[in-house]
Amino acid sequence: MTRILDFNGRDADRTATVASIVALRGTSTQFAQVTAGTADEAAAAEAAGIEMVVCMASSVPAVRRGSSRVFVTAAIDFGGAVTVDELLGAAFQALGDGADAVITARRLQAVERLAEEDVPVMGHLGFVPKKSTLYGGVRSVGKTADEAIKLWKQFQRLEDAGAFAVECELIPAKVMAEINQRTGMVTISLGSGPDANVMFLFSSDICGESERRPRHARAYGDLAALHQQMAAERVKALTAFRADVASKGFPNESEVGQIDADELNRFVKSLAADGKNGKTRG
C-alpha cells in the first residue's frame, strides 16, 4: 500500500500508483484489472486483492465509496463529452471524484491535451467496441501483417501523444507479444494474450453473470445461477403472500399490535358515547 495525496490534496492509500504501474515494464510482475460500477463491486475487488479497476466516469463516486484503495481508471468517452476541452473537463471531474487515471479511445489530440495537463491517460487500441463497424464486426485486430503494421504505428503515435498505458483488446497473442517488447507504454491485455503488464477481464465474465461470455474470458463463479435462484425465490415469496391475503391468512395475531381488553372496552364506550352525543361522522 502506498500513501498518496489525491487530486483534491487529501491523504489516501492506494494499492497501485501510476509510478508503480509504469514500473511493471521490463519485469515479470503483472497486475490484475477488472470492471467495477458499484460500491459493492469495488469493495469485492479490493477484498480479492485486485490492484486496478476501470469504470465509467459517472460511476467513480460509487466505486470510491466501495474502495478507497484500488487504483481507479475512469472511462471519459461515455458522458457526452465531444470536444477536446469537454474531454479535459470530464477528466478533471473524474479525478476530482477520486479517479487515479482516465482512459479514452478518442483522437490523439485529446490524449496530448490531457497529458499536457499531467492527467494520467490511457489509450485503447486493437478492437474498440464502439468502432466495431469499422472492423466489420467483433473480431481480432492485427491478424494480417499489414493490419499488424498499422496497429504498431498506432501504438507509436499513442505513446508519442503522452499515454502512459494502453488497453489492448482482441489483438492476436503473438502480435501482442511483439508489440509488448517494443512499446514504452504499460500494456493492459483484454483478450490479447498473456504478454502484457496488466491482465484485464470484465467482472461480469469472471463472476459468471454474462449471457454471452467472450472466448477470451474465463468464468470463476456462477452468479447467474444465484440471480436466477433469487428471482425464483422472490416470485415464490410474493405468490405465497398473495395467497395468504386471499385466504385471510395474513396477518395473524403475532403480526399486529395488541391492546389490553380493559383499555379496548374504555375506547369502545367512548365511541358509543360520542355516537349518542351526535358526533358520529357520516
What are the percentages of helix, strand and coil residues in the chain, rounded to 5?
Answer: 45, 15, 40
pLDDT, tens only, 234-275:
999 999 999 999 999 999 999 999 999 999 999 999 999 987
Q: Which three cell numbers stand for residue 25?
A: 515494464
Start and end residues for every CATH 3.20.20.60 domain found in the chain: 2-219
Fold for 2-219, please state it. TIM Barrel (3.20.20)
What digits encode the pLDDT tens for the residues 141-155?
Answer: 999 999 999 999 999
Active site residue 86: no
Supply the Cα-derived Rg of the chain in whole angstroms.
28
Mean pLDDT of 165-176: 98
* Joined grid coordinates for residue 202: 470484465
219 vs 108: CA distance, rounded Å: 35
Residue tagged active-site, from 46, 51, 167, 169: 169
pLDDT in tens, 89-121: 999 999 999 999 999 999 999 999 999 999 999
